[in-house]
């Protein structure tokens, strides 16, 4: 009985991963590719870890597998968000049949500022006054005394 | 059981080849980063299958470390892209 559950979990994990790989080959632009890989890949790893838990049926392996699943479920959206944001700002080509791009005039390439489009007049005034303050990585300089 | 494990390895290998194709032809750098991330996911899955195949539970620790390094690499690449730098697609 439990053997069949393990077989089913392993095969479905492999098939979901294959689905993610087919998606990354076939889909037209970066955002749709990430839509395929993030979710299907995370589900593939989770199913395989559940299969290992059932196979060993041990408290230690259960804890380790649960740790992997929780870690994947936390980090996959964060990594996808970071890559998607960076890719959008770098200026990747978007699929030509995209219907809506809500950020199209909100990002300023020179100052690296992102407006939401919902700012009040006062906030826009503050924004205009601080245009010359460019955000950058601050490096502490050693002061020689 | 053996047959199913071999079939799992075969399917994982096919998906790895497909991801490698995207890694080579990918038109921009973010595409390649996404492909690398999915490659790490496939490796974690393969490690799980190998742990079942060899009946050795210690391989799950390797899976944890592989997932961790993949996440750090993705965040590092995103940081690098956003802060700018020499980019040559």
Residue A55 scores a pLDDT above 80: yes
Question: Chain B within 8 Å of A124 (Cβ-Cβ)?
Answer: no
How many domains, chain A?
Answer: 2
Domain containing A12 equals 2-90
User: Region A105-126: what's the mean pLDDT?
Assistant: 76
State the virtual CA torsion across B26, A41, B66, A11 in degrees, nearest 10.
-120
Given this model, what pLDDT does residue A112 score?
67
Residue A144 within a domain: no
The answer to whether A63 faces chain B, any CB pair under 8 Å, is no
| Other CB atoms within 10 Å distance of the CB of residue A73 | 13
Phi and psi torsions of B84, nearest 5°: 85, 160
Stretch B65-77: mean pLDDT: 92
| Residues ≥6 apart with Cβ < 8 Å to B40 | B66, B67, B69, B70, B73
In a domain, A97, yes or no: no
Closest chain B residue by Cα to residue A74: B71
Does the pTM exceed 0.90?
no
Distance from the B18 Cα atom to the nearest Cα atom in chain A, whole angstroms:
6
Task: Note whether residue A62 is domain-resident.
Answer: yes
Residue A142 pLDDT exceeds 60: no
Give pLDDT tens digits for A24-40.
999 999 999 999 999 99
* Same-domain status, A117 and A86: no
Chain B residues with CB-CB distance to A72 below 8 A? 44, 67
Enumerate residues 31 to 70 of chain B having a beta carbon within 8 A of any beta carbon in chain A: 31, 33-35, 37-38, 41-42, 44-45, 48-49, 51-52, 57, 60-61, 63-64, 67-68, 70
Say yes or no: A66 and A126 in one domain. no
> Is A72 found in the same domain as A30?
yes
Q: A116-120, B3-7, B65-69: lowest mean pLDDT where?
A: A116-120
Q: Is residue A30 part of a domain?
A: yes
Please tell me the distance from the alpha carbon of residue A90 to that of residue A110, in angstroms, as a whole number. Answer: 12
CB pairs < 8 Å spanning A and B: 168
Residue A69 in any domain: the answer is yes
At A106, is the pLDDT very low, low, confident or very high (cuts 50, 70, 90)? confident
> Are residues A107 and A51 both part of a single domain?
no
Q: Are A48 and A72 in contact (CB under 8 A)?
A: no
Contacts of residue A18 in chain B, CB cutoff 8 Å?
A: 11-12, 14-15, 18
- Position A139 pLDDT exceeds 50: no
């Amino acid at each position: 009985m439990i053997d069949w559950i393990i077989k089913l979990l392993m095969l479905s994990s492999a098939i979901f991963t294959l689905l993610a790989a087919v998606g990354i080959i076939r889909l037209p632009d970066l955002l749709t590719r990430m839509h395929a890989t993030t979710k299907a890949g995370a589900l593939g790893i989770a199913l395989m870890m559940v299969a290992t838990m059932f196979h060993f049926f041990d408290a230690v392996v259960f804890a380790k597998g649960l740790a992997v699943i929780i870690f994947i479920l936390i980090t996959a959206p964060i990594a996808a968000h970071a890559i998607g944001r960076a890719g959008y700002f770098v200026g990747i080509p978007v699929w030509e049949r995209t219907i809506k791009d809500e950020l199209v005039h909100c990002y300023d390439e020179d100052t690296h500022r992102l407006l939401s489009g919902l700012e009040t007049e006062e906030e826009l005034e503050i924004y205009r006054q601080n245009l010359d303050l460019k955000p950058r990585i601050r490096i502490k300089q050693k002061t020689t005394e | 059981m053996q047959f199913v494990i071999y079939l799992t390895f075969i399917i994982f290998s096919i998906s790895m080849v497909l991801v490698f194709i995207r890694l080579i032809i990918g038109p921009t750098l973010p595409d390649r980063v996404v492909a690398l991330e999915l490659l790490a996911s496939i490796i974690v899955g393969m490690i799980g299958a190998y742990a079942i195949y060899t009946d050795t539970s210690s391989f799950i620790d390797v899976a944890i470390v592989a997932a961790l390094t993949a996440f750090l690499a993705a965040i590092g690449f995103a940081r690098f892209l956003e802060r700018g730098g020499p980019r040559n697609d």
